[in-house]
Chain A
Amino acid sequence: MINLAIEVGKTSTPEAVLFWFLAPLAVIAALGMLLSKKAVHSAILLAWIMITLAIFYIAQDAVFLGIVQIVVYTGAVMMLFLFILMLVGVDSADSLKETIPGLRPIAITAAIGFGGLMLSLLGRATLGHGMVGLADANAEGNVPALSQLLFSRYVWPFEVVSALLITAALGAMVLAHNHRLIARPTQRDLSIARFRGESLANAAGLPNPGVYALHNAVDVPALLPDGTASEASVSAMLKARGDVIDSKPFQLIELTDEEGEK
């Protein structure tokens, strides 16, 4: 009961400066992640928190873990998150309206209670010794020391974890695989459908965008012989994204009598 955890050991001054600079930033980024409406902003802030933690690891003589943290978390995991965000839709902002009434006050009260409990617990806990430091344990270097532990005392958990990784990869493949309920239409099927359809108007294919218009670009509708814009000439994907230029300015102007005489 001599050493309280709060006086567990002094660190060097540069590390203290690093800590007091980065730790508030990490906590602010975490709060921002919690409060930001868009999932992409949350992802970027989480990537920043992970980089901060990697710096903390390196500052605490866990060089290998620091590098792994950057490679695995900010590299692989966050890219996976962003990839899925792109797949699901970046624009789908999370509505912050609570659906379960009274959930938010209860959650925040419980979290403040839990956090206060953790902090007071840390403040009162005793370890019975001061900070030992990793100078002895890391004498041969961090990676050799870690690998010696990993392949001697922790070899069984290591193997189990590798089996877990393979299982997770297989599970993700099974989950992400989807069966086609109907066969994919072949080119022949599409061709037959075009000619046996309701009208033959599009049998020769849809008009290309930009034809006879002022610009020859994919987002400019083609002009029909009467000067109106053809909606069928622009890709439906562009229309759904709202990237189609308004066709009004590109339509032919009604010829007035004076111009008609010329």
Chain B
Amino acid sequence: MNAANYLYVSALLFTIGAIGVVVRRNAIVVFMCVELMLNAANLAFVTFARINGNLDGQVMAFFTMVVAACEVVVGLAIIVTIYRSRRSASVDDASLLKR
């Protein structure tokens, strides 16, 4: 097996996450798909760090994890706020500006 297979898995996971972000309507599931995309990018970072033989990629993956944690915290707080006022976690229901 060659190490590039990890990159293919990463690309597949990223694509699946991207489909989920567009297609799913539950805001929490959309967030999970964003997390999947971030994780796929991390896998690519770690694989490239190994291929290139330096640790910069791992440091970048570490930073990505921190940013992902921030994103989850703020995003879930927004979901809870929207749910409190609209009683729904569907992204299509939050369309007040349209009407």
Contact = CB atoms under 8 A, between A and B. Distances in A.
Interface of A: 5-11, 15-16, 19-20, 23, 26-27, 30-31, 33-34, 39, 42-43, 46, 49-50, 53, 56-57, 60-62, 64-65, 68-69, 72-73, 76-77, 80-81, 84-85, 87-89, 92, 94-95, 98-100, 103-104, 107-108, 110-112, 114-115, 118-119, 122, 127, 131-134, 136-138, 145-146, 149-150, 154, 157-158, 161, 164-165, 167-169, 171-172, 175-176, 178
A168 B19 CA distance: 27
B89 to A, nearest CB: 5
5 contacts: A30-B13, A39-B32, A49-B13, A49-B36, A134-B55
A34 B65 contact: no
Given A19-B6, A134-B50, A46 B35 contact: yes
Contacts of A68: 62, 65
B12 to A, nearest CB: 5
A257 to B, nearest CB: 54
A6 B69 contact: no
A145 B49 CA distance: 13
Q: Interface residues of B toward A: which range?
A: 35 or more
Nearest to B71: A168
Interface of B: 1-9, 11-20, 22-26, 28-29, 31-33, 35-36, 39, 42-43, 46-47, 49-56, 58-59, 61-63, 65-74, 76-81, 83-84, 89-90, 92
